């Protein structure tokens, strides 16, 4: 595919993915909020109808009165709205984006030869296996342990271990940026699979039983409700870890760190703890849950711990990144375009030269360099994201040279 059209596909799929993510996460958060704020009614007419919880809310100039039935209402008097297309389109758009960015360009974005020299086919198949195997393991753990005594704690503990192992393997088998995104995609796939395989089918059976289908035993109806609630709650705890894993691949200082798999696991765990705070605080105000603040504080402690642990150590004469020492004369040395072009030719022209223009960017002329000066500085020096996976072997000294060139005015006169 032509790089220009590939970039448009990337942009439009990313746009669609963000829209559907917002819709899905928004509805998920809203229903968790409802579950935490619904209060068992005392009104005889509501109890007679089977209402298990209700609340009043005001928004947009009107009043709302959501009611939840533990099993099913005796009759639905208006159109029944289903919440599943948000999940399905989120997964489909996300998988399409993953395919365009990483599977189609596996050699560039998925493979880091310094870790494992996979072929593009091998890397793509293994990446897809992460999505499938994680779902199978997670689903089986939920079925085995989920409804036993303290089952959810066992499920949580086991899955933290599984995610930790998957993060370690992904970060040692794939390029760092791809590894972070792959872990996010792995968990997100299970979230959509929860909706597709358990939540919606269970709800359909309940609706069918109360309308046109055969009547099911009350215990079976209750079990469908419990299983749907279980997987919905899991999805809400997965949400913040997935969002962090997805967005962190834009920050090179995270996925290029020597212990990047530990950073990923700790930050995702912090996200889950903070989500627990938001889930529990509503019920806490109703007197139905313990104080949730320890979860938020522990999550913040984890984040601060990562920040402190990752803080760069300045060398006596070097910079904050610990680059090789540079004396005052070296730091003040004027970097002209000729010196810069030597670095660009060796490290940037392979992807942004006459033969190839990734992202429609060309850097083999003074005009092209001038047009992209800020982008070069941000990507190669500040974020250290380019060259991708450092495929061309740029050195810290060369990054420092580009930085000095930019800070001295980014002159491009030959």
* Residues 273 and 365 grouped into a single domain: no
Residue 209, pLDDT score: 81
CA distance 219 to 406: 70
- Determine the Cα angle at 301 with ends 261 and 245, to 5°: 35
Q: Which residue has the higher pLDDT, 363 or 282?
A: 363
* Residues 355 and 398 grouped into a single domain: yes
Report the domain count for the chain.
Answer: 2
List, in sequence order, every residue forming a beta bridge with 352; answer none if it has no partner.
Answer: 357
Residues 6+ apart with CB under 8 A from 282: 33, 36, 37
Q: Residue 300: which H helix or E strand, with range?
A: helix 293-310
Tell me if 109 sits within 8 A of 175, measured CB to CB.
yes
Tell me if 400 sits within 8 A of 323, measured CB to CB.
yes
* Residues 135 and 218 grouped into a single domain: yes
Neighbours of 31 (CB within 10 A): 15
What confidence tier does 391 reach under pLDDT thresholds 50, 70, 90?
confident
For the chain, give the mean pLDDT. Answer: 87
Residue 298, pLDDT score: 97
CA distance 163 to 244: 14
* Residues 253 and 306 grouped into a single domain: yes
* Residues 209 and 353 grouped into a single domain: no
pLDDT digits (tens, 9 = 90+) for 248-262: 878 878 888 889 999
* Residues 297 and 334 grouped into a single domain: no
Residue 197, pLDDT score: 95
* Domain-located, residue 79: no
Question: What's phi and psi for 54, nearest 5 deg?
Answer: -150, 160
* Domain-located, residue 44: no
Q: Is 13 exposed, middle or buried (0-12, 13-18, 19+ CB in 10 A)?
A: buried
* Domain-located, residue 376: yes
Q: From residue 16, give the alpha-carbon distance in Å to each of 22, 90, 221, 250.
A: 10, 8, 36, 18
* Residues 262 and 206 grouped into a single domain: yes
CA distance 243 to 175: 19
pLDDT digits (tens, 9 = 90+) for 307-351: 999 987 755 444 544 445 555 544 567 888 999 999 999 999 988
Residues 6+ apart with CB under 8 A from 150: none
Q: What percent of the chain has pLDDT over 70?
A: 93
| Domain span at 340 | 328-407
Tokens 């060259």 appear where? 387
Tell me if 265 sits within 8 A of 163, measured CB to CB.
yes
* Residues 157 and 247 grouped into a single domain: yes
* Residues 260 and 397 grouped into a single domain: no
* Residues 248 and 176 grouped into a single domain: yes
* Domain-located, residue 42: no
Q: Structure pTM?
A: 0.81
* Residues 303 and 337 grouped into a single domain: no
* Domain-located, residue 391: yes
Q: From residue 238, give the alpha-carbon distance in Å to each of 40, 141, 271, 334.
A: 28, 16, 9, 50
Residue 320, pLDDT score: 47
Domain end call among 246, 276, 310: 310
CA 213 to the chain's CA centroid: 40
* Domain-located, residue 26: no
pLDDT digits (tens, 9 = 90+) for 40-52: 888 888 888 888 8
pLDDT digits (tens, 9 = 90+) for 56-88: 999 888 999 998 887 667 777 778 888 899 999
* Domain-located, residue 147: yes
pLDDT digits (tens, 9 = 90+) for 17-46: 999 999 999 998 888 888 888 888 888 888
DSSP code of 175? -
How much is the average pLDDT of 140-165? Answer: 94
Q: Write the DSSP assignment of 302-342 as a string of letters.
A: HHHHHHHHHPPPPPSSS-TT-PPP--HHHHH----HHHHHH
* Domain-located, residue 194: yes
* Residues 235 and 341 grouped into a single domain: no
pLDDT digits (tens, 9 = 90+) for 191-220: 999 999 999 999 888 888 877 767 778 788
């Amino acid at each position: 595919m032509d790089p220009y059209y590939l970039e448009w596909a990337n942009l439009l799929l990313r746009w669609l993915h963000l829209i559907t993510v917002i819709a899905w996460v928004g509805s998920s958060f809203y229903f968790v909020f409802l579950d935490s704020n619904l209060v068992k009614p005392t009104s005889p007419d509501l109890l007679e109808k089977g209402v298990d919880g209700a609340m009043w809310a005001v928004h947009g100039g009107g009043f709302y009165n959501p009611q939840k039935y533990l099993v099913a209402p005796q009759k639905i008097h208006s159109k029944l709205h289903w919440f599943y297309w948000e999940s399905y389109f989120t997964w489909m758009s996300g998988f399409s984006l993953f395919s365009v960015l990483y599977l189609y360009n596996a050699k560039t974005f998925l493979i880091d030869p310094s870790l494992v020299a996979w072929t593009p086919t091998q890397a793509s198949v293994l990446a897809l296996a992460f999505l499938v195997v994680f779902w199978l393991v997670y689903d089986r753990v939920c079925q085995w342990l989920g409804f036993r005594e303290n089952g959810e704690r066992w499920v949580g503990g086991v899955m933290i271990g599984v995610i930790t192992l998957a993060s370690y393997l992904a970060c040692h088998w794939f390029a760092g940026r791809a590894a972070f995104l792959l872990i996010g995609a792995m968990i997100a796939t299970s979230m959509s699979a929860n909706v597709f395989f358990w939540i919606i089918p269970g709800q359909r059976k309940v609706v069918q039983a109360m309308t046109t289908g055969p009547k099911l035993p009350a215990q079976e109806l209750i079990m469908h409700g419990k299983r749907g609630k279980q997987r919905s709650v899991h999805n809400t705890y997965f949400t913040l870890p997935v969002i962090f894993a997805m967005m962190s691949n834009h920050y090179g200082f995270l996925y290029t760190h020597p212990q990047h798999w530990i950073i990923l696991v700790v930050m995702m765990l912090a996200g889950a703890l903070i989500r627990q705070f938001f889930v529990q605080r509503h019920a806490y105000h109703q007197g139905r849950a313990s104080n949730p603040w320890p979860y938020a504080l522990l999550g913040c402690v984890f984040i601060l711990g990562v920040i402190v642990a990752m803080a760069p150590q300045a060398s006596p004469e070097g910079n904050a990144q610990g680059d090789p020492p540079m004396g005052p004369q070296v730091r003040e040395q004027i970097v002209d375009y000729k010196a810069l072009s030597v670095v660009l030719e060796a490290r940037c022209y392979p992807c942004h030269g006459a033969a190839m223009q990734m992202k429609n960017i060309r850097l083999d002329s003074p005009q092209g360099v001038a047009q992209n000066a800020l982008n070069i500085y941000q990507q190669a020096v500040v974020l250290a994201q380019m060259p991708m996976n450092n495929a061309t072997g740029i050195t810290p000294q060369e990054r420092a040279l580009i930085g000095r060139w930019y800070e001295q005015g980014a002159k491009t006169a030959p």
